[in-house]
């Protein structure tokens, strides 16, 4: 498990492209028959990717956690962005089709990931945060996630938002997770931009065509930076940073948050005309 420490806004102002990517970009997250984890000290969130193809993958108990098992003091959100797959949690099997989600609460001891069809592997994105209470394990299909259509053709941001783990959905201690799918011809995400200093956020971009990229913008409103994102790559957004983007094609992205505030709508908007 890779460890990433925090960076202040003053540090980030002086970062070049390589430094920005080293600290905030999470590449090579989905590798055949591997489970990769990155521990971020922003709210102690763990970002993960599991792509089982020919074998089952087991959620490891990392030494850095100093725990008897991974979810002894943590909760875990899982969203599948690939072919059909299963997650087995303490002997119970959950089937996840593309864009279905699963929440596993504190105290779940054994977790494994499998693919249903080798020709179309499951691609599981994982996000874990510390937990103080045990909430029930629960799965949710994308149809059950109360999809909401937003945006306009005129502003190139027509999109559908799916909310899974949040105050009115699957209950958790502090995890908030969902995803957004942009319509064909739309490229802008999370506009108007915003910050929320009460929680950090992670984006995982998926269904980005191989020859295309997404420009992910970050930084303080008057000190913007950008990171180019390819398919199945994640980016860490500090609580003080904006997080929005534009692609050379339409795409989807998972958003996941953790921190002090559990309220999805708690955001501090930034006027586009004020961004520098």
pLDDT score recorded for residue 265: 77
Q: Is 187 left (phi over 0), alpha (psi -120 to 50) or beta?
A: alpha
pLDDT score recorded for residue 172: 97
pLDDT score recorded for residue 260: 84
Alpha-carbon distance of 205 to 32, in angstroms, equals 18
pLDDT score recorded for residue 191: 83
Q: E strands of 137-269, at which residues?
A: 138-140, 148-150, 159-165, 176-182, 188-189, 194-195, 199-206, 214-220, 223-229, 233-237, 244-247, 252-259, 268-269
Alpha-carbon distance of 102 to 198, in angstroms, equals 24
pTM: predicted TM-score of the whole model, two decimal places: 0.96
pLDDT score recorded for residue 195: 84
pLDDT score recorded for residue 271: 86
Is there a contact between 198 and 264 (Cβ–Cβ < 8 Å)?
Answer: no
User: Mean pLDDT by 10-residue block, N- to C-terminus, for the chain (276 residues)?
Assistant: 96 95 98 98 97 97 97 98 98 98 98 96 98 98 93 94 95 97 95 86 98 97 96 97 96 95 79 88
pLDDT score recorded for residue 194: 84
pLDDT score recorded for residue 255: 97
Beta-carbon neighbour count of residue 23 at 10 Å?
Answer: 18
The token pair at 227 is 């990171």
pLDDT score recorded for residue 7: 95
Task: Tell me, rounded to whole angstroms, the distance of Cα 108 from its chain centroid.
Answer: 21
Task: Count the residues in the chain.
Answer: 276
Taking CA atoms, 268 is separated from 55, 195, 197, 261, 273, in Å, by 44, 5, 8, 13, 15
Q: E strands of 66-115, at which residues?
A: 74-80, 85-89, 92-96, 101-104, 111-115
pLDDT score recorded for residue 268: 83
Name the H helices within the chain.
9-13, 17-24
């Amino acid at each position: 498990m890779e460890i990433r420490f925090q960076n202040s806004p003053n540090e980030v102002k002086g970062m070049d492209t390589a430094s920005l990517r080293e600290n905030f970009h999470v590449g090579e997250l989905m590798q055949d028959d591997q489970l990769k984890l990155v521990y971020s000290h922003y709210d102690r969130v763990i970002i993960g990717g599991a792509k089982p193809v020919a074998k089952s993958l087991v959620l490891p108990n990392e030494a850095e956690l100093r725990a008897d098992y991974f979810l002894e003091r943590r909760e875990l959100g899982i969203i599948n962005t690939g072919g059909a797959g299963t997650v087995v949690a303490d002997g119970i099997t959950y089937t996840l089709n593309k864009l279905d989600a699963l929440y596993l609460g504190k105290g779940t001891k054994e977790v494994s990931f499998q693919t249903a069809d080798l020709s179309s592997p499951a691609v599981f994105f994982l996000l874990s945060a510390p937990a103080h209470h045990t909430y029930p394990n629960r799965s949710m299909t994308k149809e059950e996630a109360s999809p909401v259509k937003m945006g306009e053709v005129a502003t190139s941001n027509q999109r559908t938002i799916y909310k899974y783990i949040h105050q009115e959905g699957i209950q958790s201690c502090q995890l908030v997770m969902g995803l957004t799918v942009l319509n064909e011809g739309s490229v802008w995400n999370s506009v108007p931009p915003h910050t929320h200093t009460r929680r950090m956020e992670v984006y995982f971009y998926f269904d980005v065509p191989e020859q295309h990229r997404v420009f992910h913008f970050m930084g303080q409103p008057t000190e913007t930076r950008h990171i180019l994102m390819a398919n199945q790559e994640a980016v860490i957004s500090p609580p003080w940073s904006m997080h929005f983007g534009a692609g050379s094609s339409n795409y989807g992205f998972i958003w996941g948050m953790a921190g002090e505030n559990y309220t999805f709508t708690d955001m501090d908007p930034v006027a586009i005309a004020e961004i520098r």
